[in-house]
Amino acid sequence: MTSDLPQDAAAVLELERQARLLGSGLTSQTLSGCWWLNTTWSRQAKAAPKASTLLLRTLKACLELEQNETGLRIANQVNLGPLLLRFEGSACLLGRRPLLQFSFSCVRVMLGSYRLLERSLPQPKPQRMPFFALIAVGDDAHWLCARGRGGGLALWVKDPAIQR
């Protein structure tokens, strides 16, 4: 982990205040990579229960973003041993903060390399599209924080071994 990693919700809220005033300057290139969920806070910036944070880390919750010719490819997944639950779709950046707006088009359940389930997902209505309001990325681009559509805050740490 890096020395500039926000240590608490107060630090993230200050970064969010700055992003609202000045924008974050984040680009698709900055976001490309595999981001492991590190910490979450509620809409009111209260720490999530330690058990839920531990569970998400144990399940190796991650967000993958990869720049492509039409915008960004997005995937969100958790693992329980060899069992993988993965949502895949597309995303785009909107505005100067910006918002990372996305939709998942399919869900997969895998057991190792064996596909147990794959289903297409319906496109959400435009006014119900999920998003992350991007707040900041660390000086070395090894952490990212954002606020989700539901109001919760999340802090991810980039996996340096998986570059997109």
The dihedral formed by the CA atoms of 25, 31, 35 and 40, expressed in degrees to the nearest 10? 30
In a domain, 110, yes or no: yes
Q: What is the CATH number of the domain that holds 154?
A: 2.40.128.280
In a domain, 60, yes or no: yes
What is the tens place of the pLDDT at every residue in 109-147? 999 999 999 999 999 998 899 999 999 999 888 999 999
Residues facing residue 67 across a β-bridge: 72
Instruction: For residue 137, report the phi and psi dihedrals to the nearest 5 degrees.
Output: -130, 150
In a domain, 164, yes or no: no
The pLDDT assigned to 1 comes to 44
Is pLDDT of 164 > 60? no
In a domain, 3, yes or no: no
C-beta of residue 140 within 8 angstroms of C-beta of residue 157:
no
* 12-16, 51-55, 58-62, 159-163: least confident range: 159-163
Q: Which domain holds residue 126?
A: 9-158
Which of 164 and 81 is assigned the larger pLDDT?
Answer: 81
Q: How many domains does the chain have?
A: 1
In a domain, 1, yes or no: no
